[in-house]
Amino acid sequence: MKAVHRLSNLQQELVKLYSSDIKEEDLLNIKKYLASYFANKAIDEADNIWAQRGYTNDTMNKWLNESETPYGDETGD
C-alpha cells in the first residue's frame, strides 16, 4: 500500500500558480522573490540567535582570527 502525502499549503499555492501560463521573466522574478524571502528569514533567525547569545562583531572577528591548526600559528614559529 502506498503512503499518501498531502501537498503543503505552499505547494498547493504553487500548483495554482503554475496551472496558468506564466511568462519566463515572471517565473524568474518569482524565484528571485522566494529566494530573497527565505534568505531574509534565515538572516533574521541568525540575528535572533546572536542577540540571545550576546554575540558581537568582536565575537566574529575572534572566530575569524583563531588558528585552524592544532599546532598554533601557521608560520611555523
Q: Which stretches of the chain drop beneath a pLDDT of 50? A: 76-77
* Residue 6, C-alpha cell as written in the block: 498531502
pLDDT at position 72? 54
Q: 30 near 38, Cβ under 8 Å?
A: no
